[in-house]
Amino acid sequence: MSEPETTPLVVASGLRKTFRLGARETLVALDDVSLEIRRGETFGLVGESGSGKSTVSRALLGLLPLDAGSVQFDGLEVTRLKGGELRRLRKRMQMVFQDPFAALNRRQSVAQIVAAPLEAHGIGDRASRAARVEEMLDLVGLGPAYRERRPREMSGGQCQRVAIARALALDPELVVLDESVSALDVSIQAQVLNLLGELQQRLGLTYLFISHDLAVVRYMASTVAVMQRGSIVERGSREQLFRSAQHEYTRQLMSAIPAVDPTAERARRRAARTEAGVSSGG
Protein backbone atom coordinates (compact mmCIF):
# COMPACT_ATOMS: atom_id res chain seq x y z
CA MET A 1 0.00 0.00 0.00
CA SER A 2 1.13 3.57 -0.59
CA GLU A 3 2.51 5.56 2.32
CA PRO A 4 -0.23 7.93 3.55
CA GLU A 5 0.34 11.64 4.09
CA THR A 6 -0.26 13.21 7.48
CA THR A 7 -2.79 15.70 6.07
CA PRO A 8 -6.38 14.44 6.36
CA LEU A 9 -8.43 14.32 3.17
CA VAL A 10 -11.67 13.61 5.05
CA VAL A 11 -12.63 14.93 8.48
CA ALA A 12 -15.97 13.92 10.01
CA SER A 13 -16.97 15.40 13.35
CA GLY A 14 -19.85 14.48 15.64
CA LEU A 15 -22.01 12.74 13.05
CA ARG A 16 -25.46 11.86 14.27
CA LYS A 17 -28.28 10.30 12.28
CA THR A 18 -31.57 8.76 13.40
CA PHE A 19 -34.18 6.99 11.32
CA ARG A 20 -37.85 6.89 12.25
CA LEU A 21 -39.13 3.30 12.29
CA GLY A 22 -42.69 4.09 13.24
CA ALA A 23 -44.86 6.57 15.03
CA ARG A 24 -42.94 6.22 18.29
CA GLU A 25 -39.75 4.30 17.53
CA THR A 26 -36.46 5.62 16.15
CA LEU A 27 -33.16 3.98 15.28
CA VAL A 28 -29.92 5.76 16.15
CA ALA A 29 -27.79 4.87 13.12
CA LEU A 30 -24.89 7.21 13.98
CA ASP A 31 -24.14 8.43 17.47
CA ASP A 32 -21.42 11.11 17.66
CA VAL A 33 -19.15 9.51 15.06
CA SER A 34 -15.87 11.31 14.33
CA LEU A 35 -12.99 10.17 12.13
CA GLU A 36 -10.14 11.38 9.94
CA ILE A 37 -8.93 9.72 6.76
CA ARG A 38 -5.45 10.74 5.67
CA ARG A 39 -4.69 11.31 2.02
CA GLY A 40 -3.25 8.13 0.48
CA GLU A 41 -4.23 5.75 3.28
CA THR A 42 -6.68 2.87 3.53
CA PHE A 43 -9.00 3.51 6.45
CA GLY A 44 -10.76 0.34 7.53
CA LEU A 45 -14.24 0.54 9.04
CA VAL A 46 -15.33 -2.78 10.50
CA GLY A 47 -18.38 -4.04 12.34
CA GLU A 48 -21.31 -6.39 12.05
CA SER A 49 -24.32 -5.74 9.82
CA GLY A 50 -26.37 -2.85 11.16
CA SER A 51 -23.48 -1.26 13.04
CA GLY A 52 -23.67 1.95 10.97
CA LYS A 53 -20.74 1.45 8.58
CA SER A 54 -22.65 2.10 5.36
CA THR A 55 -24.47 5.05 6.93
CA VAL A 56 -21.07 6.62 7.60
CA SER A 57 -20.06 6.17 3.97
CA ARG A 58 -23.28 7.76 2.70
CA ALA A 59 -22.76 10.70 5.05
CA LEU A 60 -19.17 11.23 3.89
CA LEU A 61 -20.27 11.25 0.25
CA GLY A 62 -23.00 13.80 0.91
CA LEU A 63 -25.74 11.31 0.11
CA LEU A 64 -27.45 11.51 3.48
CA PRO A 65 -28.80 14.49 5.44
CA LEU A 66 -27.46 14.47 8.99
CA ASP A 67 -29.18 15.40 12.24
CA ALA A 68 -25.90 16.84 13.53
CA GLY A 69 -22.21 16.97 12.72
CA SER A 70 -20.03 18.04 9.82
CA VAL A 71 -18.04 16.43 7.01
CA GLN A 72 -15.08 18.14 5.37
CA PHE A 73 -13.45 16.86 2.19
CA ASP A 74 -10.15 18.53 1.35
CA GLY A 75 -11.28 21.53 3.39
CA LEU A 76 -14.72 21.79 1.78
CA GLU A 77 -17.78 21.49 4.02
CA VAL A 78 -19.68 18.66 2.31
CA THR A 79 -22.81 19.10 4.42
CA ARG A 80 -23.23 22.70 3.18
CA LEU A 81 -22.77 22.07 -0.54
CA LYS A 82 -25.74 21.87 -2.87
CA GLY A 83 -26.51 21.53 -6.57
CA GLY A 84 -23.59 22.01 -8.93
CA GLU A 85 -21.02 22.40 -6.15
CA LEU A 86 -21.94 19.04 -4.63
CA ARG A 87 -22.06 17.42 -8.06
CA ARG A 88 -18.53 18.65 -8.85
CA LEU A 89 -17.26 17.39 -5.52
CA ARG A 90 -18.73 13.94 -6.08
CA LYS A 91 -16.47 13.52 -9.10
CA ARG A 92 -13.66 13.35 -6.55
CA MET A 93 -15.42 10.70 -4.44
CA GLN A 94 -16.55 7.39 -5.90
CA MET A 95 -17.92 4.11 -4.57
CA VAL A 96 -17.63 0.38 -5.30
CA PHE A 97 -20.51 -1.70 -3.99
CA GLN A 98 -20.83 -5.21 -2.56
CA ASP A 99 -22.68 -7.04 -5.34
CA PRO A 100 -21.02 -6.45 -8.71
CA PHE A 101 -23.91 -7.99 -10.64
CA ALA A 102 -26.51 -5.76 -8.98
CA ALA A 103 -24.29 -2.66 -9.32
CA LEU A 104 -23.91 -2.97 -13.11
CA ASN A 105 -26.59 -2.33 -15.72
CA ARG A 106 -27.24 -5.74 -17.26
CA ARG A 107 -28.46 -4.18 -20.52
CA GLN A 108 -25.25 -2.25 -21.14
CA SER A 109 -21.92 -3.38 -22.50
CA VAL A 110 -18.78 -3.02 -20.41
CA ALA A 111 -17.73 -0.03 -22.52
CA GLN A 112 -21.07 1.69 -21.90
CA ILE A 113 -20.89 0.99 -18.16
CA VAL A 114 -17.40 2.46 -17.76
CA ALA A 115 -18.23 5.46 -19.96
CA ALA A 116 -21.47 6.25 -18.10
CA PRO A 117 -19.98 8.56 -15.42
CA LEU A 118 -18.01 10.45 -18.08
CA GLU A 119 -21.21 11.03 -20.04
CA ALA A 120 -23.15 11.99 -16.91
CA HIS A 121 -20.60 14.70 -16.10
CA GLY A 122 -20.24 15.86 -19.71
CA ILE A 123 -16.56 14.94 -19.91
CA GLY A 124 -14.96 14.63 -23.34
CA ASP A 125 -16.34 13.63 -26.73
CA ARG A 126 -17.08 10.12 -27.94
CA ALA A 127 -13.50 9.45 -29.05
CA SER A 128 -11.89 10.65 -25.82
CA ARG A 129 -14.39 8.70 -23.73
CA ALA A 130 -13.67 5.55 -25.73
CA ALA A 131 -9.95 6.05 -25.13
CA ARG A 132 -10.59 6.54 -21.41
CA VAL A 133 -12.62 3.31 -21.31
CA GLU A 134 -9.73 1.42 -22.92
CA GLU A 135 -7.33 2.94 -20.40
CA MET A 136 -9.51 2.00 -17.43
CA LEU A 137 -10.09 -1.57 -18.59
CA ASP A 138 -6.37 -2.05 -19.11
CA LEU A 139 -5.77 -0.62 -15.64
CA VAL A 140 -7.95 -3.29 -14.00
CA GLY A 141 -6.56 -6.14 -16.10
CA LEU A 142 -9.36 -6.54 -18.65
CA GLY A 143 -8.36 -6.54 -22.30
CA PRO A 144 -10.18 -5.10 -25.34
CA ALA A 145 -12.16 -8.33 -25.74
CA TYR A 146 -14.27 -7.32 -22.73
CA ARG A 147 -15.51 -4.04 -24.22
CA GLU A 148 -18.71 -5.42 -25.73
CA ARG A 149 -19.47 -8.06 -23.13
CA ARG A 150 -22.50 -7.85 -20.86
CA PRO A 151 -22.32 -8.51 -17.09
CA ARG A 152 -24.12 -11.85 -17.50
CA GLU A 153 -21.24 -13.04 -19.69
CA MET A 154 -18.62 -12.46 -16.98
CA SER A 155 -17.66 -13.84 -13.58
CA GLY A 156 -18.19 -12.01 -10.31
CA GLY A 157 -14.53 -11.04 -10.13
CA GLN A 158 -14.55 -9.69 -13.67
CA CYS A 159 -17.72 -7.69 -12.97
CA GLN A 160 -16.11 -6.21 -9.87
CA ARG A 161 -13.13 -5.16 -11.98
CA VAL A 162 -15.56 -3.38 -14.30
CA ALA A 163 -17.13 -1.65 -11.28
CA ILE A 164 -13.68 -0.53 -10.15
CA ALA A 165 -12.88 0.75 -13.66
CA ARG A 166 -16.13 2.73 -13.67
CA ALA A 167 -15.33 4.23 -10.25
CA LEU A 168 -11.87 5.30 -11.43
CA ALA A 169 -13.00 6.77 -14.76
CA LEU A 170 -13.54 10.21 -13.19
CA ASP A 171 -10.07 10.17 -11.59
CA PRO A 172 -11.34 10.36 -7.98
CA GLU A 173 -9.24 10.99 -4.90
CA LEU A 174 -11.40 8.98 -2.47
CA VAL A 175 -12.89 5.56 -3.24
CA VAL A 176 -15.37 4.03 -0.81
CA LEU A 177 -15.22 0.23 -0.94
CA ASP A 178 -18.39 -0.99 0.77
CA GLU A 179 -18.09 -4.76 1.34
CA SER A 180 -16.60 -4.79 -2.15
CA VAL A 181 -15.13 -8.31 -1.98
CA SER A 182 -17.54 -10.04 0.40
CA ALA A 183 -19.69 -11.46 -2.44
CA LEU A 184 -16.66 -13.05 -4.15
CA ASP A 185 -15.02 -16.45 -3.70
CA VAL A 186 -11.98 -16.38 -1.42
CA SER A 187 -9.45 -16.88 -4.23
CA ILE A 188 -11.05 -14.11 -6.29
CA GLN A 189 -11.16 -11.88 -3.20
CA ALA A 190 -7.38 -12.09 -3.00
CA GLN A 191 -6.99 -11.08 -6.65
CA VAL A 192 -9.27 -8.06 -6.26
CA LEU A 193 -7.62 -6.97 -3.00
CA ASN A 194 -4.19 -7.12 -4.61
CA LEU A 195 -5.50 -5.16 -7.59
CA LEU A 196 -6.86 -2.48 -5.25
CA GLY A 197 -3.48 -2.25 -3.53
CA GLU A 198 -1.66 -1.88 -6.84
CA LEU A 199 -4.09 0.80 -8.02
CA GLN A 200 -3.64 2.73 -4.79
CA GLN A 201 0.13 2.79 -5.21
CA ARG A 202 -0.08 3.72 -8.88
CA LEU A 203 -2.77 6.41 -8.63
CA GLY A 204 -2.29 7.73 -5.09
CA LEU A 205 -5.84 6.80 -4.09
CA THR A 206 -7.39 7.12 -0.66
CA TYR A 207 -9.67 4.26 0.39
CA LEU A 208 -12.45 3.94 2.92
CA PHE A 209 -12.62 0.16 3.20
CA ILE A 210 -15.83 -1.08 4.83
CA SER A 211 -16.23 -4.71 5.85
CA HIS A 212 -17.65 -7.07 8.44
CA ASP A 213 -14.55 -9.26 7.93
CA LEU A 214 -11.73 -8.18 10.22
CA ALA A 215 -9.26 -10.49 8.46
CA VAL A 216 -9.79 -8.66 5.17
CA VAL A 217 -9.55 -5.28 6.88
CA ARG A 218 -6.32 -6.38 8.52
CA TYR A 219 -4.88 -7.19 5.11
CA MET A 220 -5.92 -3.90 3.51
CA ALA A 221 -6.07 -1.10 6.07
CA SER A 222 -3.39 0.99 7.74
CA THR A 223 -5.87 2.55 10.19
CA VAL A 224 -8.89 0.69 11.60
CA ALA A 225 -12.04 1.84 13.38
CA VAL A 226 -14.50 -0.62 14.92
CA MET A 227 -18.21 0.23 14.93
CA GLN A 228 -20.95 -1.14 17.14
CA ARG A 229 -24.54 0.12 17.34
CA GLY A 230 -23.82 3.39 15.58
CA SER A 231 -20.67 4.32 17.51
CA ILE A 232 -16.94 3.88 16.99
CA VAL A 233 -15.90 1.85 20.01
CA GLU A 234 -12.19 1.54 19.16
CA ARG A 235 -9.73 2.88 16.62
CA GLY A 236 -6.01 2.84 15.99
CA SER A 237 -3.30 1.73 13.62
CA ARG A 238 -3.57 -1.81 12.32
CA GLU A 239 -0.58 -2.82 14.42
CA GLN A 240 -1.99 -1.29 17.60
CA LEU A 241 -5.43 -2.77 17.18
CA PHE A 242 -4.34 -6.30 16.40
CA ARG A 243 -1.59 -6.32 19.02
CA SER A 244 -3.60 -5.01 21.95
CA ALA A 245 -7.31 -4.50 21.31
CA GLN A 246 -8.96 -2.81 24.29
CA HIS A 247 -12.68 -3.12 23.67
CA GLU A 248 -14.47 -6.39 24.31
CA TYR A 249 -16.37 -6.17 21.02
CA THR A 250 -13.11 -5.82 19.07
CA ARG A 251 -11.72 -8.86 20.84
CA GLN A 252 -14.85 -10.81 19.94
CA LEU A 253 -14.42 -9.93 16.28
CA MET A 254 -10.79 -10.99 16.42
CA SER A 255 -11.64 -14.31 18.01
CA ALA A 256 -13.72 -15.14 14.93
CA ILE A 257 -10.71 -14.81 12.61
CA PRO A 258 -9.53 -18.31 11.64
CA ALA A 259 -5.92 -19.19 12.34
CA VAL A 260 -3.78 -19.09 9.20
CA ASP A 261 -0.67 -21.10 8.40
CA PRO A 262 1.90 -18.34 7.59
CA THR A 263 3.64 -20.43 4.93
CA ALA A 264 0.38 -21.26 3.19
CA GLU A 265 -0.75 -17.65 3.42
CA ARG A 266 2.45 -16.37 1.77
CA ALA A 267 2.01 -18.90 -1.02
CA ARG A 268 -1.63 -17.89 -1.47
CA ARG A 269 -0.70 -14.21 -1.73
CA ARG A 270 2.03 -14.92 -4.30
CA ALA A 271 -0.43 -16.93 -6.38
CA ALA A 272 -3.08 -14.23 -6.10
CA ARG A 273 -0.64 -11.54 -7.22
CA THR A 274 0.33 -13.65 -10.22
CA GLU A 275 -3.28 -14.31 -11.18
CA ALA A 276 -4.25 -10.66 -10.71
CA GLY A 277 -1.78 -9.68 -13.39
CA VAL A 278 -3.45 -11.87 -16.01
CA SER A 279 -5.69 -9.82 -18.28
CA SER A 280 -8.51 -12.37 -18.07
CA GLY A 281 -8.31 -12.44 -14.29
CA GLY A 282 -11.14 -12.87 -11.81
Q: How many residues does the chain have?
A: 282
- What's residue 271's pLDDT? 46
Q: What are the angstrom distances between the C-alpha of 40 and each of 108, 172, 181, 218?
A: 33, 12, 20, 17
- As to burial, measured by CB atoms within 10 angstroms (0-12 exposed, 13-18 middle, 19+ buried), residue 108 is middle
- What's residue 5's pLDDT? 67
- What's residue 84's pLDDT? 86
∠ at Cα 77 (55, 172), nearest 5°? Answer: 70
CA atoms within 13 A on the CB side of 106: 5
Q: What are the angstrom distances between the C-alpha of 161 and each of 138, 196, 239?
A: 10, 10, 29
Per-residue pLDDT tens digits of the chain, which is 282 residues long: 556 667 899 999 999 999 988 888 889 999 999 999 999 999 999 998 889 999 999 999 999 999 999 999 999 999 888 888 888 898 999 999 888 888 899 999 999 999 999 999 999 999 999 999 999 999 999 999 999 999 999 999 999 999 999 999 999 999 999 988 888 888 889 999 999 999 999 999 999 999 998 889 999 999 999 999 999 999 999 999 988 888 999 998 888 776 544 444 454 455 444 444 444 445
Residue extents of the structural domains in the chain = 1-92+174-282, 100-171
User: 1-92+174-282 domain in CATH 1.10.3720.10?
Assistant: no
3-state secondary structure the chain: CCCCCCCEEEEEEEEEEEEECCCCCEEEEEEEEEEEEECCCEEEEECCCCCCHHHHHHHHCCCCCCCEEEEEECCEEHHHCCHHHHHHHHCCEEEECCCHHHHCCCCCCHHHHHHHHHHHCCCCCHHHHHHHHHHHHHHCCCCHHHCCCCHHHCCHHHHHHHHHHHHHCCCCCEEEEECCCCCCCHHHHHHHHHHHHHHHHHHCCEEEEEECCHHHHHHHCCEEEEEECCEEEEEEEHHHHHHCCCCHHHHHHHHCCCCCCHHHHHHHHHHHHHHHCCCCCC
Task: Mark residue 126 as left, alpha or beta (left: phi above 0; alpha: psi -120 to 50; beta: remaining).
Answer: alpha
- What's residue 244's pLDDT? 87
Do the beta carbons of residue 209 and residue 85 sit within 8 Å?
no
